[in-house]
A and B are shown apart, each in its own frame.
Chain A
Amino acid sequence: MLMNALLSGLTLGAMYSLVAMGMTLQYGVSRIMNLAYGEILILGSFATYVLFGSLGISPYLSLLVVAPAAFVLSWLIYSIMLTPLVARARNPIALEVDSILITFGLLFVIQGIMLVTFGANYTSYSYLDFPVNVLGSTTSANRLVALLAALVLGAGAYLLLLKTRTGAALRAVASEPVGAGLVAIDVKWAAALGFALGGAIAALGGVLASTFMTFTAQMGVAFTMKALIVVIMAGVGNVFGAFLAGFFLGLVESMVATFWDPGLTIAVIYAVFLLALIIRPTGIFGKAA
């Protein structure tokens, strides 16, 4: 039973951490609280569904198209819609408020387009859903792939942020945007890159989730909420923290469901969230303000 709970917690946590890593990049580096984040994710799910359903392209192969497309789309959203806000914002708080409002609008635009295009129905298909035995406990291959993807992405993000110049620039902009500009980092470029990378990760999450989850055009908000909890709990902008916190929440959820009551998962998650914020208002891995 413990092994079952561990495995299900890890696969669930993988999704949470994957989704949260993208959001924390957007929020941390480009200072945009993107409420339309979940919509980009669902857009990725639908794109995969269409590519798989009509052209028979494997969902994992479609990743090669969907993730770059989301990258470009997010870059465009940032440079067309959000740069004017960044330019006129007098302080970070003003930018945060403006970005919340504009991405709230964007949420409905993207959702509306998906509703018109794909309808409001539940969508589900099966791909790679055969059972895989891991240490005496069973899960499906597609969930295992998502787990691996989260691990790879976590490692990739770690390498990118800590071992490359680009990563250093992103981190610099995240921690001190004004100072970063002073040392000849193109802040605008770094912010757009952070936002676009976040969008690509969202789409990646959508592609992976679509293989094992029933989704609708209106489900994006649920993902945005979960990601938001993980991001805030981990400390805004901390990618590695989001990675760990995602897994942590997944494990908590499956432990509660297995050993206590499936009905209490949400209550416990929010209790943990509140507790974390009371003890460390800037997040578990966040720096003191």
Chain B
Amino acid sequence: MTFRKLKLLAAAGTALAAMSLTGGALAQETPGKVKIGYAISKTGPNSGGAMTSQVPNYELWVKEMNEKGGMMVNGKRLPVEVVEYDDRSNSEEAVRAVERLITQDKVDLLLSPWGTAVNLAVGPLFAKHKYIQMGPTAITDRSVELAKRWPLSFWLAGTSASYVDALVDQLVKLKKEGKIDEKIAMAAVGDGFGVDLSGAARKALPAAGFKIIYDKTYPVGTQDLSPIINEVKAMNAKVFVAFSYPPDTIGLTEQARLLSYNPDLFMVSVGGFFPLYKQRFGDAVEGVVTLGGIDAKSKAIADYMERHRKATGREPDRSASVPMYASLQVLEQAVERVGLDREKIAAEMKSGSFDTIMGKVSMPDQTMPTMWKIGQWQNGELQGLGPSSLPGAGKITFPKPAWPAKKD
């Protein structure tokens, strides 16, 4: 029976892993190469995100290491070999593939899959075999608890509440300056991230003294969003926040522009940081607030984006790509310092400080506090605004300029 065989293999794998741990330096003295594996959604509904934010960065990182002669392990450069599987956007498939990577391919390091659901599904497997799990696209309110339970896991983006907090922080400041009143209009897609974010906002906004005057959820795949924009326009809502997915992010922007709905603050969510968004709307993106962001003044980031374009032929997104690449740099430097013992790597990642394209990064709480949560399109670039305590944080352009007139 294949299942029994699989279980046997898993058991053998665990035993081997345990042996290599106790074997310590002896077993690790003569590896000829570093094997890195990942299972990720190359097809299926998740592939759009995975192929934008994660896979190109994995490829860029490996390519750059191999051009230098490989990954630095115990003072020697070892060539990096990659084993890659498609999880077809399916959690069970991801679990099987990760199991295969661990027990059959016997990879030295695993890279994480895309998205919250799949990461939660493979989490126990990573933890059981003591592999480092680290990604910017798994966002769950349980990340603090999970980081404790799985000491080798790093939840770079933190909780969905942390995104809402960054937004509320901006709104509170605007209110203090007398620029907005307490009324907020809010729409959300009825799925995963949209539900999490709107749920967090329903708590955080009233707590900060705001009143949600419009609060509607629409189903995934809603094609006609004009009823929503028509209604908030009729209410004359000055602050409009949408916790949206890419197609509706574009749809809402399109409709707002079409119906000349010009709120002082217009926010969309997932997709607003995609290169597609700017390509689609051009100069009209100016002033739109969305998730993510980059430090537009940083030379290191500009340089990274150039390398990314050259190596992968595509534009990095302006939210997860930068922290994704930076976290790979963290991993690389941690390996350089302590070798391939994964528990030692994790300990080093938690205690050390690392030079990355985002500047100095340290991750004591198994999260990346320097990741931008909210940004605004300013002068054609998505400038990070919050958390406002971060170095390089931009200042919000308020009110948002009206949508430019159509030229066609």
Contacts and interface: CB of A to CB of B under 8 A. Distances in A.
Question: Do A and B originate from a single complex?
Answer: yes
Interface of A: 1, 4-5, 8, 11-12, 15, 115, 119-131, 138-140, 212-214, 216, 218, 222, 253-254, 257-258, 261-263, 265-266
Contacts of A15: 223
B143 interface: no
A12 B246 contact: no
B326 interface: no
A287 to B, nearest CB: 32
A213 B408 contact: no
Interface residues of B, number: 39
Given A126-B280, A129-B406, A263-B218, A120 B51 contact: yes
Nearest to A137: B230
B228 A138 contact: no
Interface stretch (B42-50, B147-155, B354-362, B386-394): B42-50
A24 B279 CA distance: 37
B15 interface: no
Interface string B389-408: 00000000000000000101
A52 to B, nearest CB: 13
Interface of B: 42-45, 47-48, 51-52, 187, 190, 216-219, 221-224, 226-228, 230-231, 234, 246-247, 250-251, 254, 258-260, 271, 274, 276, 280-281, 406, 408
Nearest to B407: A130
Nearest to A127: B408
Given A124-B280, A129-B254, A261-B216, A4 B227 contact: yes
Nearest to B251: A214
Contacts of A8: 224, 226-227, 230
B43 A254 contact: no
B218 A262 contact: yes
Nearest to B248: A214
Contacts of B258: 129-131, 138-140
12 contacts: A1-B234, A8-B224, A12-B224, A120-B47, A121-B48, A121-B51, A126-B254, A140-B258, A214-B251, A218-B45, A254-B224, A257-B227
A258 B218 contact: no
Contact of A130 (B226, B231, B250, B408): B408
Chain A CB within 10 A, most for which of B47, B216, B224, B258: B224
Contacts of A1: 230-231, 234
A115 B218 contact: no
Contacts of B219: 262-263, 265-266
Contacts of B228: 257, 262
8 closest Cβ contacts across the A-B interface? A120-B47, A262-B218, A257-B227, A130-B406, A214-B247, A263-B217, A258-B227, A8-B226
B227 A254 contact: yes
Contacts of A12: 223-224
